[in-house]
């Protein structure tokens, strides 16, 4: 099963029984998810709670660094993580021909 | 009428009028409009509606005050209530939107079994109800302070306005009023915050400038017998373990709260659900990144204002707030030596957490219109969340319980709408009663709802999407054990239902127990699912199906 056969939205119908693209799509989704959740855990539970005391020894603009991660930094990162997820999933959707871009997608 | 009261009336009437106009224009006739706004809400508007739905009286009124006294450990609320959106966006929202019906119990009903649906509907009602109490109490505080009404009548007034637009417009009315309410609440929150930051540090960006006052704040706090703002694990008795568990509970609870999840059902597409999550957290972060700064600035101004003063020479705001009973002064003290947020501490000045934000313009000496705006913002936060919760209660009671269990067939569209509206009316009446007799601080009441959401919904939703073999008996056992475990511990450690409060076991506070309850739920669901028959191929195919945004272009599949 080659990737090429299932790329794009060219409108060429794949063979009716073939659902192997679904596993590959799902695997890519899961991989992205795991990477983003690892970052999520590191900035919040890692820097903001587990390592807060050592990080607090570094002070930037009046903020002890651990406190800054707990009250500011982690939230900035969360917002970026969700944006990256949405943008990246758009790419994966395109790749597998399941994108919903037309006026927010093909609402049925 | 004082100048503050004039401006409060002005902004309250202006904003309430706006909500009512919006509600009237978006009144609905069909159940699909009533429950999910016809799944036609644009991404950006949905993000703002989620943010308003989400940011409650606790976020607006209570949170900065809690952070002011908890200091560094206030991060449990900041990270917990925002970090949950990452879980929601990545693990739940797109898949639940793809499945796309009306309620959260409906998903688990289709995915697992009818009995799970009933358990889920009951859990949704219990969780939303616990949470709505805090909103009602918060609204009552605003009215009693700014308009001179008693807290009881304040609660009733809030309920009447919500009743009007929620019963009339259902999800559609709620959605567009929430967009307006977000706008009101964020303006009301940011203007005083920027003004106080500018006044205190000369830099009008509170997120950056509150670093400059932290050293001074630490010194003053110690002087008044409080812990340092920047010291980690000083604000919570349970220390690091507890901070970890509370943060995790709030995150899992955020991702599991039915009133937040159903807001993702209203987008046009799965892609729309993903971007809604982004806009939601973006809008939420505007307030959450500001709250710790508001807490720090207000506490600094408060302490500076009472430093070296006696009971007779205290700033004016202490007298005006004293009338609500939320600020008390020891009249025998020569000068104010100690300050606390705990009623039982015996300190010379006791300030309830819940007033700090609402009083921040007065404490910082800002003009009356800003005080009035703040009141309107607090009302917007309380009302938008209460409306979203009441919709969950009403849809769970009418759609998932009444029409699935009691009257199974032959309900006309008109009848369904009527039952939905009656359910909402009943919910509002009970909420009024509970709002008048709230069990604890506003923000804490809400934290308990999170524990319950984390230990019931989150695990079975995650397993429902990511593990095809999770089945009905497993989910029923998991949810019930998670609920029983968490509720038992909360009742054991809290003085809420007339029971005595016992000591915390292993330093786990009742707010942090939800994370352990979730683990119990996960474990029980997996073990019972393994021991019983796997779900039907049809259900397994459904799980497969919700993982993809839409049927593949040109591939004809059924």
For B163: left if phi > 0, alpha if psi spans -120 to 50, otherwise beta; the answer is: alpha
Does B268 contact A97 at a Cβ distance shorter than 8 Å? no
What is the H or E stretch that residue B279 is in?
A: helix B270-288
The pLDDT value given to residue B519: 96
Say yes or no for a CB contact (<8 Å) between B90 and A12: no
**A74 in reach of chain B (CB within 8 A):** yes
| Structure tokens belonging to residue B37 | 């706004």
**Chain B contacts of A101, Cβ < 8 Å?**
271
Q: Which residue of B has its CA nearest to A35?
A: B90
Q: What is the DSSP letter of B271?
A: H
Tell me what pLDDT residue B405 has: 77
C-alpha to C-alpha distance for B465 and B89, rounded to whole angstroms: 13
CA distance B232 to B246: 15
Q: How far is B450 from chain A (nearest CA, A)?
A: 18
User: In the numeric block, which tokens belong to residue B417?
Assistant: 């709408």
pTM comes to: 0.89
Whether the CB of A40 is below 8 Å from some CB of chain B: the reply is yes
CB B65 within 8 A of CB B321: no
Distance CA B488, CA B467 (A): 29
CA separation (Å) from B446 to B53, B186, B253, B443? 14, 20, 10, 5
d(Cα B452, Cα B435) in Å, to the nearest integer? 19
What's the start-to-end Cα distance of chain A, in Å? 30
The Cα B68–Cα B443 span in angstroms is: 13
The verdict on A42 touching B (C-beta cutoff 8 Å) is no
Q: Which one, of B148, B50, B362, lies nearest residue B59 by Cα?
A: B50
CB B112 within 8 A of CB B460: yes
- Residue A16 has phi, psi (to 5 degrees) of -55, -35
Residue among A61, A96, A97 minimizing CB distance to B211:
A61
- The string of pLDDT tens digits covering residues A62-96 is 899 999 999 999 999 999 999 999 999 988 888 88
When computed from its CA atoms, the radius of gyration of chain A, rounded to whole angstroms, is: 20
3-state class of A38 per DSSP?
helix
Which residues in chain B have their CB less than 8 angstroms from residue A48's CB?
75, 79, 247
Comparing CB atoms, the residue among A64, A79, A105 nearest residue B272 is A105
The answer to whether A20 faces chain B, any CB pair under 8 Å, is no
Question: Which residues lie below 8 Å from residue B173, measured CB to CB, with a gap of 6+?
Answer: B22, B23, B26, B27, B28, B165, B166
The ipTM, to two decimals, is 0.90
Q: Does A55 touch chain B (CB under 8 A)?
A: no
Among B43, B79, B245, pick the best mutation site for testing chain A contact (most A Cβ within 10 A).
B79
Note whether A82 contacts B292, CB cutoff 8 Å.
no
Mutate to test the interface with A, among B75, B266, B547 (most CBs of A within 10 A): B75
Residue-wise pLDDT tens digits, A3-53: 444 444 444 444 455 678 888 889 999 999 999 999 999 999 999 999 988
For residue B63, which of B245, B288, B322 has the smallest C-alpha distance?
Answer: B288
**What pLDDT does residue B323 have?**
76
Indicate yes or no: CB of B78 within 8 angstroms of CB of A71: yes
Rounded (10°) CA dihedral B502, B506, B512, B518: -110
If chain B, 558 residues long, is cut into consecutive pieces of 10 residues, what is the mean pLDDT of each piece?
83 88 81 79 91 87 88 90 94 89 86 89 86 80 76 82 80 88 93 90 90 87 85 81 92 92 88 93 95 92 86 82 81 84 84 83 83 87 88 87 77 80 87 75 66 92 92 92 89 66 76 92 96 90 85 44
Question: Residues 275 to 304 of B: which have CB under 8 A from any A CB?
Answer: 275, 277-278, 281-282, 285, 288-289, 292
CB distance from B75 to chain A under 8 Å? yes
**Cα dist from B58 to B15, B273, B446, B536, whole Å:** 20, 25, 7, 43
Residue ranges in B148-228 assigned as alpha helix (H): 151-201, 206-209, 214-223
How would you classify residue B333: left for phi > 0, otherwise alpha for psi between -120 and 50, otherwise beta? beta
pLDDT of residue B555: 41
Is B483 within 8 Å of B123 (Cβ atoms)? yes
Closest to B58 measured CA to CA, from B323, B441, B422: B441
- Cβ neighbors of A41 (< 8 A, separation 6 or more) are none
Q: What angle do CA A43, B44, B27 make, to 5 degrees?
A: 130
In this prediction, residue B554 carries a pLDDT of 40
Inter-chain residue contact A14 with B552, CB threshold 8 Å: yes
Cβ-Cβ contacts under 8 Å for A93 (sequence gap 6 or more): A99, A100, B271, B549
Cβ of B207 within 8 Å of Cβ of A72? The answer is yes
């Amino acid at each position: 099963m080659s990737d090429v056969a299932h790329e794009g939205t060219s409108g060429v119908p794949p063979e009716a029984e073939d659902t192997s693209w679904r596993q590959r799509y799902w695997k890519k989704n899961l991989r992205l998810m795991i990477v983003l959740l690892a970052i999520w855990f590191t900035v919040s539970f890692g820097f903001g709670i587990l390592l807060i005391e050592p990080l607090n020894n570094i002070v930037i603009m009046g903020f002890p660094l651990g406190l800054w991660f707990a009250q500011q930094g982690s939230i900035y990162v969360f917002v970026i993580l969700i944006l990256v997820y949405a943008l990246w999933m758009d790419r994966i959707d395109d790749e597998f021909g399941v994108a919903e871009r037309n006026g927010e997608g093909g609402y049925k | 009428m004082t100048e503050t009261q004039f401006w409060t009336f002005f902004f309250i009437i202006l904003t309430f009028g706006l909500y009512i106009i919006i509600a009237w224009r978006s009144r609905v006739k069909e159940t699909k409009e009533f429950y999910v706004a016809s799944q036609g809400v644009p991404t950006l508007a949905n993000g703002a509606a989620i943010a308003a739905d989400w940011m409650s009286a606790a976020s607006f009124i209570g949170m900065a005050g809690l952070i002011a006294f908890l200091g560094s450990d206030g991060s449990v609320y900041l990270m917990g209530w925002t970090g949950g959106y990452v879980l929601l966006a990545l693990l739940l929202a797109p898949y639940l939107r793809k499945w796309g019906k009306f309620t959260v119990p409906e998903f688990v009903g289709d995915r697992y079994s009818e009995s799970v649906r009933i358990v889920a509907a009951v859990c949704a009602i219990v969780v939303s109800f616990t949470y709505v109490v805090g909103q009602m109490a918060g609204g009552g505080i605003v009215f009693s302070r700014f308009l001179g009404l008693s807290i009881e009548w304040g609660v009733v007034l809030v309920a009447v306005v919500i009743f009007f637009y929620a019963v009339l417009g259902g999800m559609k009315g709620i959605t567009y009023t929430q967009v307006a309410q977000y706008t009101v609440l964020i303006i009301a929150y940011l203007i005083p915050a920027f003004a106080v930051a500018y006044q205190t540090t000369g830099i009008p960006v509170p997120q950056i400038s509150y670093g400059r006052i932290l050293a001074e704040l630490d010194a003053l706090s110690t002087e008044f017998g409080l812990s340092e703002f920047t010291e980690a694990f000083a604000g919570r008795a349970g220390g690091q373990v507890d901070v970890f568990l509370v943060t995790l509970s709030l995150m899992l609870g955020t991702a599991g709260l039915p009133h937040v999840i159903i807001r993702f059902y209203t987008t046009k597409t799965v892609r729309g659900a993903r971007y809604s999550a982004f806009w939601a957290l973006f809008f939420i972060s505007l307030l959450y990144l500001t709250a710790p700064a508001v807490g720090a600035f207000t506490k600094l101004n408060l302490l500076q204002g009472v430093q070296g003063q006696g009971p007779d020479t205290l700033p004016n705001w202490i007298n005006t707030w004293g009338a609500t009973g939320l600020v008390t002064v020891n009249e025998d003290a020569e000068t104010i030596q100690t300050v606390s947020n705990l009623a039982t501490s015996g300190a010379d000045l006791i300030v309830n957490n819940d007033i700090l934000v609402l009083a921040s313009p007065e404490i910082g000496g800002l003009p009356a219109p800003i005080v009035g705006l703040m009141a309107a913002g607090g009302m917007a936060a309380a009302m938008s969340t209460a409306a979203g919760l009441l919709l969950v209660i009403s849809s769970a009671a009418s759609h998932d319980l009444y029409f699935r269990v009691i009257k199974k067939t032959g309900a006309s569209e008109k009848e369904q709408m009527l039952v939905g509206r009656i359910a909402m009316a009943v919910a509002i009446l009970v909420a009024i009663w509970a709002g008048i007799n709230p069990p604890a601080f506003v923000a804490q009441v809400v934290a308990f709802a999170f524990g319950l959401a984390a230990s019931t919904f989150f695990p079975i939703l995650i397993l429902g999407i990511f593990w095809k073999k999770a089945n009905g008996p497993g989910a029923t056992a998991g949810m019930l054990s998670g609920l029983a475990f968490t509720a038992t511990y909360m009742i054991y450690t809290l003085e809420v239902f007339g029971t005595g409060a016992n000591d915390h076991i292993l330093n786990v506070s009742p707010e942090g127990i939800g994370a352990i309850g979730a683990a119990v739920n996960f474990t029980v669901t997996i073990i019972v699912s393994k021991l019983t028959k796997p779900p039907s191929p049809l259900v397994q195919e459904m799980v497969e199906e919700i993982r993809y945004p839409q049927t593949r272009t040109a591939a004809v599949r059924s």
